Amino acid sequence: MLSLVDMTSPQLSPEITMQALQEQLPGARRTLFRHFHIGGCSSCGFRPEETLAEVCHRNENLNPEQVIEILRAGYEEERKLLVSPTELKGWMDAGRALTLVDVRSKEEFEAVRLPGALRFDQELMSQWKSEQDKQGLLVFYDHRGQQVLDAASYFVGHGFPQVRCLEGGQDAWALQIDPAMPRYVVE
Protein backbone atom coordinates (compact mmCIF):
# COMPACT_ATOMS: atom_id res chain seq x y z
CA MET A 1 0.00 0.00 0.00
CA LEU A 2 1.46 3.32 -1.04
CA SER A 3 1.81 6.03 1.59
CA LEU A 4 2.93 9.54 0.80
CA VAL A 5 3.16 10.53 4.45
CA ASP A 6 5.59 7.77 5.39
CA MET A 7 7.83 8.31 2.39
CA THR A 8 11.07 10.18 2.76
CA SER A 9 11.85 12.86 0.26
CA PRO A 10 11.97 11.12 -3.12
CA GLN A 11 15.33 10.63 -4.81
CA LEU A 12 14.88 12.16 -8.25
CA SER A 13 17.30 12.75 -11.08
CA PRO A 14 16.97 13.41 -14.82
CA GLU A 15 17.92 9.75 -15.43
CA ILE A 16 14.98 8.33 -13.46
CA THR A 17 12.59 6.30 -15.60
CA MET A 18 9.02 7.48 -15.81
CA GLN A 19 7.89 4.22 -14.21
CA ALA A 20 10.20 4.73 -11.22
CA LEU A 21 9.17 8.39 -11.02
CA GLN A 22 5.49 7.43 -10.76
CA GLU A 23 6.28 4.77 -8.16
CA GLN A 24 8.11 7.33 -6.00
CA LEU A 25 5.64 10.14 -6.69
CA PRO A 26 2.15 8.76 -7.37
CA GLY A 27 0.98 12.27 -8.32
CA ALA A 28 3.77 12.87 -10.83
CA ARG A 29 1.51 12.43 -13.85
CA ARG A 30 -1.01 14.95 -12.43
CA THR A 31 1.77 17.46 -11.73
CA LEU A 32 3.38 17.02 -15.16
CA PHE A 33 0.05 17.42 -16.90
CA ARG A 34 -1.01 20.43 -14.84
CA HIS A 35 2.24 22.33 -15.43
CA PHE A 36 3.48 21.10 -18.82
CA HIS A 37 0.64 19.17 -20.52
CA ILE A 38 2.72 16.00 -20.31
CA GLY A 39 1.19 12.58 -19.72
CA GLY A 40 -2.50 13.30 -19.92
CA CYS A 41 -3.33 11.97 -23.37
CA SER A 42 -1.86 9.94 -26.22
CA SER A 43 -0.30 12.97 -27.94
CA CYS A 44 1.60 14.01 -24.81
CA GLY A 45 2.10 10.59 -23.19
CA PHE A 46 5.31 8.83 -22.28
CA ARG A 47 6.58 5.27 -22.05
CA PRO A 48 7.46 3.72 -18.66
CA GLU A 49 11.07 3.09 -19.72
CA GLU A 50 11.71 6.67 -20.89
CA THR A 51 13.81 8.83 -18.62
CA LEU A 52 12.63 12.16 -17.29
CA ALA A 53 15.44 13.80 -19.29
CA GLU A 54 14.16 12.21 -22.52
CA VAL A 55 10.60 13.31 -21.83
CA CYS A 56 11.78 16.85 -21.03
CA HIS A 57 13.89 16.98 -24.19
CA ARG A 58 11.03 16.10 -26.53
CA ASN A 59 8.66 18.47 -24.73
CA GLU A 60 10.05 21.87 -25.65
CA ASN A 61 13.48 20.96 -24.26
CA LEU A 62 12.37 21.57 -20.67
CA ASN A 63 15.08 21.83 -18.02
CA PRO A 64 14.88 18.51 -16.09
CA GLU A 65 16.15 20.09 -12.85
CA GLN A 66 13.38 22.70 -12.96
CA VAL A 67 10.83 19.98 -13.70
CA ILE A 68 12.12 18.00 -10.69
CA GLU A 69 11.61 21.04 -8.45
CA ILE A 70 8.02 21.37 -9.68
CA LEU A 71 7.48 17.63 -9.11
CA ARG A 72 8.79 17.97 -5.54
CA ALA A 73 6.47 20.93 -4.91
CA GLY A 74 3.53 18.91 -6.28
CA TYR A 75 4.48 16.03 -3.97
CA GLU A 76 4.46 18.35 -0.94
CA GLU A 77 1.08 19.81 -1.94
CA GLU A 78 -0.45 16.35 -2.27
CA ARG A 79 0.92 15.32 1.14
CA LYS A 80 -1.11 18.18 2.65
CA LEU A 81 -4.31 16.63 1.31
CA LEU A 82 -3.83 13.34 3.14
CA VAL A 83 -5.40 12.41 6.47
CA SER A 84 -4.46 9.23 8.29
CA PRO A 85 -7.14 6.76 9.34
CA THR A 86 -6.35 7.54 13.00
CA GLU A 87 -6.72 11.28 12.49
CA LEU A 88 -9.98 10.84 10.58
CA LYS A 89 -11.34 8.57 13.31
CA GLY A 90 -10.44 11.26 15.86
CA TRP A 91 -12.34 13.87 13.85
CA MET A 92 -15.35 11.61 13.61
CA ASP A 93 -15.30 10.76 17.33
CA ALA A 94 -15.06 14.48 18.17
CA GLY A 95 -18.12 15.19 16.01
CA ARG A 96 -16.26 17.31 13.47
CA ALA A 97 -18.56 18.22 10.58
CA LEU A 98 -17.35 16.43 7.46
CA THR A 99 -18.66 14.51 4.49
CA LEU A 100 -17.09 11.15 3.71
CA VAL A 101 -17.14 10.53 -0.03
CA ASP A 102 -16.50 7.05 -1.40
CA VAL A 103 -15.18 7.13 -4.99
CA ARG A 104 -15.15 3.35 -5.47
CA SER A 105 -17.50 1.39 -7.69
CA LYS A 106 -21.14 0.85 -6.74
CA GLU A 107 -20.41 -2.83 -6.06
CA GLU A 108 -17.53 -2.03 -3.72
CA PHE A 109 -19.60 0.62 -1.93
CA GLU A 110 -22.50 -1.78 -1.43
CA ALA A 111 -20.18 -4.51 -0.13
CA VAL A 112 -18.33 -2.44 2.49
CA ARG A 113 -18.00 1.24 3.34
CA LEU A 114 -16.94 3.61 6.08
CA PRO A 115 -19.66 4.71 8.51
CA GLY A 116 -21.80 7.53 7.10
CA ALA A 117 -20.07 7.59 3.70
CA LEU A 118 -21.81 8.81 0.58
CA ARG A 119 -21.10 7.20 -2.78
CA PHE A 120 -19.75 9.66 -5.31
CA ASP A 121 -21.97 9.77 -8.39
CA GLN A 122 -23.49 12.32 -10.77
CA GLU A 123 -26.41 13.01 -8.45
CA LEU A 124 -24.14 13.86 -5.53
CA MET A 125 -21.94 16.02 -7.73
CA SER A 126 -24.92 17.99 -9.02
CA GLN A 127 -25.98 18.69 -5.42
CA TRP A 128 -22.70 20.50 -4.70
CA LYS A 129 -23.34 23.68 -6.62
CA SER A 130 -23.67 26.43 -4.03
CA GLU A 131 -20.86 28.26 -2.27
CA GLN A 132 -22.23 26.88 1.00
CA ASP A 133 -21.62 23.33 -0.24
CA LYS A 134 -18.07 24.24 -1.16
CA GLN A 135 -17.17 25.33 2.36
CA GLY A 136 -17.66 21.99 4.12
CA LEU A 137 -14.89 19.48 4.74
CA LEU A 138 -14.90 16.67 2.17
CA VAL A 139 -12.89 13.54 2.87
CA PHE A 140 -12.56 11.30 -0.18
CA TYR A 141 -11.51 7.69 -0.08
CA ASP A 142 -11.09 4.75 -2.41
CA HIS A 143 -9.95 1.17 -1.92
CA ARG A 144 -6.26 1.69 -1.15
CA GLY A 145 -5.65 5.40 -1.57
CA GLN A 146 -4.14 5.09 -5.03
CA GLN A 147 -6.66 6.96 -7.19
CA VAL A 148 -8.37 9.19 -4.67
CA LEU A 149 -6.01 12.13 -5.22
CA ASP A 150 -7.43 12.45 -8.76
CA ALA A 151 -10.90 13.14 -7.33
CA ALA A 152 -9.51 15.47 -4.68
CA SER A 153 -7.51 17.44 -7.25
CA TYR A 154 -10.65 17.92 -9.33
CA PHE A 155 -12.56 19.40 -6.40
CA VAL A 156 -9.66 21.57 -5.23
CA GLY A 157 -9.44 22.90 -8.79
CA HIS A 158 -13.16 23.71 -8.72
CA GLY A 159 -13.07 25.89 -5.65
CA PHE A 160 -13.53 23.46 -2.77
CA PRO A 161 -11.06 24.71 -0.14
CA GLN A 162 -11.47 21.89 2.40
CA VAL A 163 -10.64 18.64 0.64
CA ARG A 164 -8.76 15.75 2.17
CA CYS A 165 -8.04 12.15 1.17
CA LEU A 166 -7.95 9.12 3.42
CA GLU A 167 -4.42 7.82 3.27
CA GLY A 168 -4.44 4.15 2.33
CA GLY A 169 -8.19 4.21 1.65
CA GLN A 170 -10.82 1.83 2.98
CA ASP A 171 -8.21 -0.91 3.28
CA ALA A 172 -6.07 1.13 5.70
CA TRP A 173 -9.20 1.98 7.69
CA ALA A 174 -9.95 -1.75 8.02
CA LEU A 175 -6.38 -2.51 9.09
CA GLN A 176 -5.89 0.37 11.52
CA ILE A 177 -9.36 1.29 12.83
CA ASP A 178 -11.92 -1.46 12.23
CA PRO A 179 -10.39 -4.95 11.98
CA ALA A 180 -13.90 -6.42 11.68
CA MET A 181 -14.42 -4.55 8.39
CA PRO A 182 -14.10 -6.90 5.42
CA ARG A 183 -11.03 -6.47 3.23
CA TYR A 184 -10.91 -7.46 -0.42
CA VAL A 185 -8.79 -7.57 -3.56
CA VAL A 186 -9.94 -6.02 -6.82
CA GLU A 187 -9.15 -8.20 -9.84
**Residue 179, C-beta contacts closer than 8 angstroms, at least 6 positions apart:** none
What's the pLDDT at 24?
Answer: 87
What's the pLDDT at 49?
Answer: 97
Q: Where in the chain is the domain with CATH 3.40.250.10?
A: 84-176
What's the pLDDT at 7?
Answer: 44
Question: Rounded to whole angstroms, how far apart are CA atoms 124 and 1?
Answer: 28
Where the chain has pLDDT below 70, the residues are: 1-9, 129-133
What's the pLDDT at 63?
Answer: 97
pTM: 0.75
Question: Rounded to whole angstroms, how far apart are CA atoms 39 and 28?
Answer: 9
What's the pLDDT at 50?
Answer: 96
CATH superfamily of the domain spanning 84-176: Rhodanese-like domain (3.40.250.10)
